Structure 1
């Protein structure tokens, strides 16, 4: 797989030419990680066990035990759903003031590129 491969952009949108917007492969993989982290299990009809459900706990009282449980849950979901695409090097989940922040360092298996990304999600407003 070359670094020039493109995929559908997330969120789905139309580009200025009126075509489906595209994303480079590494950006597409990042989009997949974001979808996985912030999708609640049961939200997808054909894949009811897809997701981490991190946003369900955005207002839960914080504790070291909860943070550890969230990290393990996120890591298990990433390995299950995206393990063929990425290799996780470091994962940190933190929540404060209604925001869940995930710092993820990973390598994209197909391209060999290393990424250090921060994903943020908040509960309903």
Structure 2
């Protein structure tokens, strides 16, 4: 089953771009990681808030906090779709990079995604 691609865009044929199951899951992860809680009107708890940590001093505590925030958000919002196997968070200047290894619950395939966000 295909869903609307995020962000919304037009494909090469002039129609609304659609995403397959793998792309949809990657796009959901990206949205979840870089949306701050309270940013979505009808879903005030959606998001991880990890992007705000870019402004914190780089340290082991900041990395641990980011991993905790990301793990909690993934469990709360996508726990029925993925099983997190590992998270690596790096913040350099104004770029937050999250490397996520996960297994899809439906197919049990292991996947990896690298998400970079600039704030």
Same fold? TM cut 0.5: yes
> Aligned match of 2:68 in 63, 72, 82?
72
Runs of at least 5 residues in structure 1 that lack an aligned partner in the other structure: none
- Once the two structures are TM-superposed, the CA of residue 59 in structure 1 deviates from its matched residue by 2.0
> How far is the alpha carbon of 1:17 from its aligned partner?
2.9
Cα distance, 1:66 vs. partner?
A: 1.3
**Structure with bigger RCO (C-alpha 8 Å, 6+ apart):** 1
Aligned pairs (5 A) from 1:29-40: 29-40=25-36
Is 1:112 aligned to residue 117 of structure 2?
A: no
Matched, 1:16 2:12: yes
Q: Is the 8 A contact 2:99 2:114 kept in 1?
A: yes
Q: Which runs of 5+ in 2 are unaligned?
A: none
Where 2:37 maps in the other structure, the secondary structure is coil
Instruction: Tell whether the 8 Å contact from 1:26 to 1:108 is kept in structure 2 after alignment.
Output: no
Kept after mapping to 2: 8 A contact 1:100/1:122: yes
Paired residue for 1:94, among 90, 93, 98?
90
Taking only aligned residues, the RMSD between alpha carbons, in angstroms, comes to: 1.2
Partner residue of 1:26? 22
SS of 1:58's equivalent in the other structure is helix
Q: How many residues align?
A: 119
SS of match in other structure, 1:55: helix
